[in-house]
């Protein structure tokens, strides 16, 4: 999540009271500066700003220095969540659920967020090799496996794994900077641990859950899981539909094994088919 995206997130936490927004530099430091007794980023402060002030702050030009600082910080991130987009029952974007989800992510060690999904198009090696010399180049999310990740690492190209089930080995054995993760939507703390410290046992214990989270194309299993955990409303927008009951029962058992590590989850329910709402127009 870039500096501007972070500003946009804070802009969502607004009411009508007249309180001035903090300057951009102060806002960035409130997120990136670690606390005295922890090596994790400090929790995002809940600034209260007027809606118009928040919008103006979000759209304000970003200086070259701020952009360079953001690029440098992002290049060091170990764990980036491809964040879930929650919906209301009318199919529109659920800002309240999104805000709460982002806050839980930050509180549990996530260092960056990708908002709105990513491309599934492969970028050939020779294109990546040319792009890496651009001053605003960050790195590449690589989903083809650890052989290419190792190749990029050998060339000094910053690379994040796009495969949760391989991310531990990508990070600790093949030179990946970290991971852009789906599983971290529900287990941000555990994934943060794996990205910052080698933990083969934890990685092994999570393999079955990670496999279930990709038993159908993303984000179908993730949406289903977060709904069963009570983190979002059980709303799907076509063409996506929830997992069938058999797969939900399988997932519930796996999620219950790690429930204490799922922020905000008070109960895990399989849910009935009628509990889900499918929206075709929005």
pLDDT at 67: 61
With 60 as the cut, is the pLDDT of residue 6 above it? Answer: no
**pLDDT digit string, tens, across residues 55-64:** 344 445 555 5
When comparing pLDDT for 12 and 214, which is higher?
Answer: 214
Long-range contacts of 146-153 (CB under 8 A, 24+ apart): 146/170, 146/173, 146/174, 146/176, 149/174, 149/175, 149/176, 150/174, 150/175, 151/125, 152/128
Taking the C-alpha atoms of residue 131 and residue 117, their distance in angstroms, rounded to an integer, is 21
Report yes or no on whether pTM surpasses 0.75: no
Q: Give CATH 3.20.20.70 domain extents, the chain.
A: 75-279
Q: Dump pLDDT digits (tens) for 99-110.
A: 999 999 999 999
Least confident of 198-202, 209-213, 278-282: 278-282
Q: Which fold has domain 75-279?
A: TIM Barrel (3.20.20)
For the record, the structure tokens of 152 come out as 């990029």
């Amino acid at each position: 999540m870039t500096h501007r995206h972070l500003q946009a997130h804070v802009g969502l936490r607004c009411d009508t009271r007249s309180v001035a927004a903090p300057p951009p530099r102060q806002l960035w430091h409130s997120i990136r500066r670690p606390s005295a007794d922890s090596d994790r980023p400090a929790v995002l402060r809940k600034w209260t700003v007027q809606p118009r002030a928040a919008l103006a702050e979000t759209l304000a030009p970003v200086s070259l220095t701020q952009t360079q600082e953001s690029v440098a910080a992002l290049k060091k991130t170990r764990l980036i969540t491809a964040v879930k987009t929650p919906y209301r029952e009318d199919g529109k974007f659920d800002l309240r659920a999104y805000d709460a989800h982002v806050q839980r992510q930050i509180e549990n060690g996530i260092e960056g967020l990708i908002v709105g999904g990513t491309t599934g198009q492969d970028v050939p090696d020779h294109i990546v090799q040319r792009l890496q010399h651009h001053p605003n180049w960050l790195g590449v999310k690589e989903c083809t496996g650890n052989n290419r990740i190792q190749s990029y690492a050998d060339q000094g190209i910053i690379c994040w794994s796009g495969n949760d089930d391989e991310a531990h080995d990508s990070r600790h054995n093949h030179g990946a900077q970290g991971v852009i993760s789906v599983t971290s939507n529900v287990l941000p703390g555990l994934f943060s641990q794996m990205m910052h410290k080698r933990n083969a046992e934890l990685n092994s214990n999570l393999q079955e859950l990670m496999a279930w989270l990709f038993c159908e194309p993303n984000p179908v299993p993730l949406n289903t899981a977060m709904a069963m955990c009570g983190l979002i409303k059980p709303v799907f927008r076509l063409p996506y539909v929830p997992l069938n009951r058999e797969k939900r029962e399988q997932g519930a058992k796996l999620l219950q094994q790690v429930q204490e590590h799922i922020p905000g989850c008070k109960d895990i329910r399989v849910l009935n088919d009628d509990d889900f709402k499918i929206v075709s127009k929005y």
